[in-house]
């Protein structure tokens, strides 16, 4: 468990460092281009762990002890003493268009990072699941529309869905954005192609926590894994009970077992509890008594018996796919995916503000760190894809019209463009205090949700 926490934390910090560096470099690069003197470029906040002074303008480059943020400090006559020769290089003395370009450059850099990341993974290829449907949950829109297990989603509203991730994105967009029936082309198990109409009206997928696609009635299909024992760990509970490689588990405490998942689901809650197993070995029926050992997993005591499942060659070939495109096509797809993810993020934020989405959907650093670790453990392409998604979220968040964020500064600039004079320092000071309260509240809510999920 400790190693998993360390790995997730490391993956999170690397991703966060990249995102902050790219964001702040956007501000830095444009500031230099429009002639503003940059005094300090910092990745991280608080006490400096590393500092270097550059040759140009003696800019101080720093890495802060607190990795949640960064900043670019520019020359400004409102806080700095200027020589006559430096007045034209102060941020506040630059024309409105230049100041706007500097502020908007940070979020734009994050959007460009997302495009580059998606372009890269779409060229090298990313492994995923074929959009095959698992058992359809009863009394759901999918059941009403007539979807069947092992239907393969070909396209949704005209958009191809080569992978389960693609299908999820379009389904979410349909549910959140239009609210109108989605036209879904499927390839049925008998090889025919049909179009089914999925009515999502009245389905509020974000009103509470949980998988919104599952609320529609959709889950991914997986092959049934037979409960056949692979390796048996010496000195484990299974070895002590006499279990051997190749044993087929037929029943546990009289309950018939048809899959490996069913076996695991019975063993996990049975720590230190004696279980009666009916197994088949070389055509012979045997009865074994086994007591799972208690093991701590994420603070919970679960049963472990020390066996692995025997994998069948080619078992997962039906559900595996690799989505890959030539460079030109990949770039166009990357632009489209960045746009779609941006629109979806904005729509979800809108639902949160209007009360049409539960605040439980807000995730904090702990949840994001877990996602970072999971994606990194799957493969580098999935980790790059994760960075792209978080980069888009960071860009959209920074563009919100909240003082203290880039969007707050852009809001002030919009007022200045109309009134032809800067917003007063008194109003800006009040805005900073208000922005701190809003951001502090959001951070508290995000941490609360993270802690609640861990407790659950």
Q: Which residue has the higher pLDDT, 31 or 349?
A: 31
What local confidence, expressed as pLDDT, does residue 187 receive?
A: 92
Q: Decide: 242 and 284 in contact? Cβ < 8 Å.
A: no
- Alpha-carbon separation of residue 110 from 22, 268, 344, 394 (angstroms): 7, 43, 16, 7
| pLDDT higher than 90, residue 99 | yes
What local confidence, expressed as pLDDT, does residue 371 receive?
A: 74
User: Which pair of structure tokens corresponds to residue 396?
Assistant: 């959209």
| pLDDT higher than 80, residue 43 | yes
Taking residues 373-383, what's their average pLDDT? Answer: 84
The dihedral through the CA atoms of 102, 107, 111, 114 has a sign that is positive
Give the pLDDT band of residue 444 (cuts 50, 70, 90): confident
Closest CA to 230 of 250, 251, 244, 249: 244
> Phi and psi of 176, rounded to 5°?
-85, -40
Taking residues 1-22, what's their average pLDDT? Answer: 80
> Phi and psi of 108, rounded to 5°?
-65, -35
What local confidence, expressed as pLDDT, does residue 69 receive?
A: 83
Give the pLDDT band of residue 122 (cuts 50, 70, 90): very high
User: CB neighbours of 228 closer than 8 A, spacing ≥ 6?
Assistant: 246, 247, 248, 249, 260, 309, 310
Taking residues 157-164, what's their average pLDDT? Answer: 90
What local confidence, expressed as pLDDT, does residue 171 receive?
A: 86
Q: Render 290-332 in DSSP notation, one character per residue.
A: E-PEEEEETTEEEEE-SEEEPPPTTTTTTTEEEE---HHHHHH
Q: By percentage, how much of the chain surpasses pLDDT 70? A: 91
Which DSSP state fits 178?
I
Taking residues 409-422, what's their average pLDDT? Answer: 90
Taking residues 208-237, what's their average pLDDT? Answer: 84
What local confidence, expressed as pLDDT, does residue 434 receive?
A: 83
Rounded to whole angstroms, the Cα distance separating 221 from 4 reads 28
**What mean pLDDT is reported for the chain?**
86
204 is a catalytic site residue? no
> Phi and psi of 36, rounded to 5°?
-90, 135
Rounded to whole angstroms, the Cα distance separating 199 from 192 reads 22
pLDDT in tens, 209-222: 667 888 888 888 88
End-to-end CA distance of the chain: 17
What local confidence, expressed as pLDDT, does residue 30 receive?
A: 96
User: Which pair of structure tokens corresponds to residue 205?
Assistant: 């997928």
pLDDT in tens, 133-150: 988 988 888 898 999 988
Active-site annotation holder among 24, 197, 313, 416: 24
Rounded to whole angstroms, the Cα distance separating 219 from 268 reads 23
Q: Decide: 306 and 237 in contact? Cβ < 8 Å.
A: yes
Q: How many CB atoms lie within 10 A of CB 52?
A: 10
Rounded to whole angstroms, the Cα distance separating 258 from 68 reads 48
| pLDDT higher than 60, residue 2 | no
Give the pLDDT band of residue 449 (cuts 50, 70, 90): low
What local confidence, expressed as pLDDT, does residue 447 receive?
A: 65
> Do the domains at 128-222+316-323 and 229-306 have one common CATH topology?
yes
Q: Is the pTM of this model over 0.75?
A: yes
Taking residues 368-383, what's their average pLDDT? Answer: 81
> Phi and psi of 219, rounded to 5°?
-140, 160
Q: Which residue has the higher pLDDT, 99 or 174?
A: 99
Rounded to whole angstroms, the Cα distance separating 267 from 303 reads 6
Alpha helices in 127-196 (DSSP H): 141-145, 164-173
Taking residues 202-212, what's their average pLDDT? Answer: 68
Q: Which residue has the higher pLDDT, 359 or 328?
A: 328
Rounded to whole angstroms, the Cα distance separating 351 from 358 reads 8
Q: Decide: 345 and 396 in contact? Cβ < 8 Å.
A: yes
CATH superfamily of 229-306: PDZ domain (2.30.42.10)
Torsion of CA 23, 29, 31, 35, to 10 degrees: 180
Which DSSP state fits 180?
S
H/E stretch holding 231 = strand 229-232
Rounded to whole angstroms, the Cα distance separating 201 from 50 reads 55
Give the pLDDT band of residue 356 (cuts 50, 70, 90): low
CATH superfamily of 128-222+316-323: PDZ domain (2.30.42.10)
Taking residues 181-205, what's their average pLDDT? Answer: 85
Burial 138-147 (b: 16+ CB within 10 A, else e): eebbbeebeb
Torsion of CA 348, 349, 350, 354, to 10 degrees: 100
- What angle in degrees, to the nearest 10, is found between the helix axes of 425-455 and 365-378? 60
Rounded to whole angstroms, the Cα distance separating 172 from 34 reads 41
What local confidence, expressed as pLDDT, does residue 173 receive?
A: 81
Closest CA to 97 of 413, 404, 408, 418: 413
Rounded to whole angstroms, the Cα distance separating 151 from 192 reads 10
| pLDDT higher than 70, residue 98 | yes
| pLDDT higher than 80, residue 369 | no
Rounded to whole angstroms, the Cα distance separating 186 from 145 reads 12
CA 277-279-281 angle, 5° bins = 150
| pLDDT higher than 80, residue 446 | no
Sequence ranges of the domains in the chain: 35-93, 100-125+326-456, 128-222+316-323, 229-306
Give the pLDDT band of residue 9 (cuts 50, 70, 90): confident
Closest CA to 199 of 212, 184, 214, 220: 184
pLDDT in tens, 108-120: 999 999 999 999 9
Rounded to whole angstroms, the Cα distance separating 129 from 222 reads 9
């Amino acid at each position: 468990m400790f190693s998993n926490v360390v790995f997730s934390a490391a993956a999170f910090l690397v991703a966060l460092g990249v995102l902050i560096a790219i964001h702040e470099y956007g501000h830095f690069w444009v500031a230099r281009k429009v002639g503003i003197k940059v005094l300090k470029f910092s990745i991280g906040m608080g006490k400096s762990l590393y500092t270097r002074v550059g040759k140009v303008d003696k800019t101080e480059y720093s890495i802060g002890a607190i990795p949640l943020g960064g900043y670019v400090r520019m020359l400004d006559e409102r806080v700095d003493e200027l020589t006559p020769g430096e007045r034209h290089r102060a941020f506040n003395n630059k024309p409105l268009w230049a100041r706007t370009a500097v502020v908007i450059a940070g979020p734009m850099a994050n959007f460009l990072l997302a495009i580059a990341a998606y372009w890269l993974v779409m060229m090298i290829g990313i492994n995923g699941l074929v959009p095959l449907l698992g058992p359809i949950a009863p009394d759901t829109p999918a059941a009403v529309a007539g979807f069947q297990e092992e239907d393969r989603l070909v396209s949704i509203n005209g958009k191809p869905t080569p992978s389960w991730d693609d299908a999820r994105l379009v389904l979410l967009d349909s549910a959140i954005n239009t609210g109108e029936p989605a036209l879904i082309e499927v390839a049925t198990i008998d090889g025919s192609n049909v179009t089914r109409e999925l009515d999502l009206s009245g389905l509020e997928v974000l009103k509470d926590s949980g998988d919104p696609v599952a609320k529609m009635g959709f889950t991914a299909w997986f092959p049934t894994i037979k409960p056949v024992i692979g390796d048996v760990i010496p000195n484990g509970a299974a070895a002590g009970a006499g279990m051997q490689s190749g044993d087929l588990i037929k029943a546990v405490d009289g309950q018939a077992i048809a899959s490996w998942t069913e076996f695991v689901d019975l063993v996990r809650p049975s720590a230190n509890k004696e279980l009666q197993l009916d197994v088949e070995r070389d055509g012979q029926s045997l009865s074994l008594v086994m007591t799972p050992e208690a093991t701590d997993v994420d603070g919970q005591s679960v049963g472990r018996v020390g066996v692995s499942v025997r994998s069948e060659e080619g078992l997962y070939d039906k559900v595996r796919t690799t989505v890959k495109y030539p460079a030109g096509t990949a770039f166009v797809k990357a632009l489209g995916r960045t746009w779609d993810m941006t629109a979806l993020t904005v729509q979800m934020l809108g639902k949160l503000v209007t009360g049409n989405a539960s605040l439980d959907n807000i995730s904090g650093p702990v949840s994001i760190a877990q996602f970072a670790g999971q994606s990194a453990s799957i493969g580098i392409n999935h980790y790059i894809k994760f960075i792209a998604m978080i980069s888009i979220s960071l860009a959209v968040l920074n563009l919100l019209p909240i003082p203290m964020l880039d969007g707050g500064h852009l809001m002030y600039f919009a007022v200045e463009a109309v009134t032809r004079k800067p917003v007063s320092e008194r109003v800006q000071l009040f805005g900073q205090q208000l922005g701190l309260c809003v951001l502090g509240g959001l951070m508290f809510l995000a941490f609360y949700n993270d802690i609640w999920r861990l407790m659950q």
